[in-house]
Amino acid sequence: MEQKKGLYRVVYDAETRKWLIKKDGAKRVIDSLNTKDEAMKRVKTLSENQDINFVLYKKNGKFQKKR
């Protein structure tokens, strides 16, 4: 039986005004970055290294992109 790897999510936190990288099922935030570009670069590296897909959300919380 294949184990599900989870998914990284890039979301904007209005309270801290940072872009957060979270992983499904994890309690902690993996990283918090100042810009969406920084968060995108970081999550691409993480997803390639771990072979896990990621989902990107817009600042308003709506779905933007899955990879």
Per-residue confidence (pLDDT) for residue 47, from 0 to 100: 95
Any domain includes 2: no
Q: Which two tokens stand for residue 49?
A: 């290294």
Q: Per-residue confidence of the chain (67 residues) as pLDDT tens digits? A: 445 578 999 999 999 999 999 999 999 999 999 999 999 999 999 999 999 999 999 999 999 988 8
Q: What is the domain range of residue 34?
A: 8-66
Any domain includes 3: no
CB crowding 26-50: b at 16 or more within 10 Å, else e: eeeeebebeebeebbebbeebbeee
Any domain includes 42: yes
CA 51 – CA 27 distance, rounded (Å): 20
How many domains would you assign to the chain? 1
Any domain includes 1: no
Q: How many CB atoms lie within 10 A of CB 4?
A: 9
Any domain includes 21: yes
Per-residue confidence (pLDDT) for residue 1, from 0 to 100: 45
